[in-house]
C-alpha cells in the first residue's frame, strides 16, 4: 500500500492469529472459552475476598485489585478478537486502535506495579509482623498504594500514546497481531522512527526494571529474615505465604520479558502473536488457579460460597 497521511487513515486491519477460514471456528471456541474462564475465575476470587471477613486483610485487598486489573487487561484485547473472528471483519478504527493501546498498557502496567506492592506487603508481614495491620499496612496506606499504581500506569500509558501520535503518516494499515501495540504502529510509519522506537523500548525497560527491582529487594529482605528463624516449621510457614505470589510473578514476568526480548532481538510476526496470546490471555487465566489452589484461605472461602449456593 502507498504511504497515507494520518488525516486519511481512519482504519487499521488486525491480521490476527490466522487467515485460514477453516481455523476460525476452532479459534473462536478456544478463545471464547479461555476468556470466560479468565473472567469467571477472577470474579470468584473477588467474590470470595469480599464475602469472607477473614480475608479483609491487605494481602487479599491487593489480590482483589490484581484480579480486577487482570480482567481489564484481557478484556482490552480478547473480546475484540472474538468479535472480529465472528463477524469476519478485521477492521479497527484509528481512534479505537489508540484507545485499545492505552488500556492495554494501563492494565498491563497496573499488573506489574500491583505485584510489586504485594511483594512489599509480604515483606512487612514477614519482617515486621508486629507492625502489620493496623500499623504499617493501614487501610489508608493500602488505598494510597493502589492509587499510586493507577496513576503511574496511566502516566506510562499516555507517554506511549504521545510517542505514537507523533507519527504523521503510515506506509501500511495492516497490523500483524490481534491488537494494537505501540511497537506495531511504529513499524508502520512511513518515515524512520528509530528515535521513537528507542524511546518506547527505553520506557518499557525502565517500566519493567523498577517493579522488578522492588520485588527483588522485598524478597531479599524476606529471605534474609526467614533464614534467621531457627525452626524449620517457622521457615516453611513464612515461605508458604509467598508461594502463590512468587508463582504469579514468575509467570507474568517470564512471558512478558520473553516476548519483549524476543521481539527486540529477532522480530517475527508469528512469534509476536504467539507471545501476545501467552501474556494477554494465558497468564490472566492461570492467576486465579494459582491463588486458589495454593491458598487454603481462598479455598475455604470458595467452598463456603459453593455450599451457600447449593
Query: 97-125: per-residue pLDDT in tens?
Result: 889 989 999 999 999 999 999 999 989 98
Confidence of residue 1 (pLDDT cuts 50, 70, 90): very low
Query: 18-55: per-residue pLDDT in tens?
Result: 777 788 888 889 999 999 999 999 998 999 899 888 88
**What pLDDT, on the 0 to 100 scale, is given for residue 2?**
46
**What pLDDT, on the 0 to 100 scale, is given for residue 168?**
63
Protein fold of 4-309: Rhopdopsin 7-helix transmembrane proteins (1.20.1070)
Q: Where are the domains of the chain?
A: 4-309
Query: 71-87: per-residue pLDDT in tens?
Result: 999 999 899 888 888 88
Query: 51-67: per-residue pLDDT in tens?
Result: 888 888 898 999 999 99
Residue 278: count of CB within 10 angstroms of its CB: 15
Amino acid at each position: 500500500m502507498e504511504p497515507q497521511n494520518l488525516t486519511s487513515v481512519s482504519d487499521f486491519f488486525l491480521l490476527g492469529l490466522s487467515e485460514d477460514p477453516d481455523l476460525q471456528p476452532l479459534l473462536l471456541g478456544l478463545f471464547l472459552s479461555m476468556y470466560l474462564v479468565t473472567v469467571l475465575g477472577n470474579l470468584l476470587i473477588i467474590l470470595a475476598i469480599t464475602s469472607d471477613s477473614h480475608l479483609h486483610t491487605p494481602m487479599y485487598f491487593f489480590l482483589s485489585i490484581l484480579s480486577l486489573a487482570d480482567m481489564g487487561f484481557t478484556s482490552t484485547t480478547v473480546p475484540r478478537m472474538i468479535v472480529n473472528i465472528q463477524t469476519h471483519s478485521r477492521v479497527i478504527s484509528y481512534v479505537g486502535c489508540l484507545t485499545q493501546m492505552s488500556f492495554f498498557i494501563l492494565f498491563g502496567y497496573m499488573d506489574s506495579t500491583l505485584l510489586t506492592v504485594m511483594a512489599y506487603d509480604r515483606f512487612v508481614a514477614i519482617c515486621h509482623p508486629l507492625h502489620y495491620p493496623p500499623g504499617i499496612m493501614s487501610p489508608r496506606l493500602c488505598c494510597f498504594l493502589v492509587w499510586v499504581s493507577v496513576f503511574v500506569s496511566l502516566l506510562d500509558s499516555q507517554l506511549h500514546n504521545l510517542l505514537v501520535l507523533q507519527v504523521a503518516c503510515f506506509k501500511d494499515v495492516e497490523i500483524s497481531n490481534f491488537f494494537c501495540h505501540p511497537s506495531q504502529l511504529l513499524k508502520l510509519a512511513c518515515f524512520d522512527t528509530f528515535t521513537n522506537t528507542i524511546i518506547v523500548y527505553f520506557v518499557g525497560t525502565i517500566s519493567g526494571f523498577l517493579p522488578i527491582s522492588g520485588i527483588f529487594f522485598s524478597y531479599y529482605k524476606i529471605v534474609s529474615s526467614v533464614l534467621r528463624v531457627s525452626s524449620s516449621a517457622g521457615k516453611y510457614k513464612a515461605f508458604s505465604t509467598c508461594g502463590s505470589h512468587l508463582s504469579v510473578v514468575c509467570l507474568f514476568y517470564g512471558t512478558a520479558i520473553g516476548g519483549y526480548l524476543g521481539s527486540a532481538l529477532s522480530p517475527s510476526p508469528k512469534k509476536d502473536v504467539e507471545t501476545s496470546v501467552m501474556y494477554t490471555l494465558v497468564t490472566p487465566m492461570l492467576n486465579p488457579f494459582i491463588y486458589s489452589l495454593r491458598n487454603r484461605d481462598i479455598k475455604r472461602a470458595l467452598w463456603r460460597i459453593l455450599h451457600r449456593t447449593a
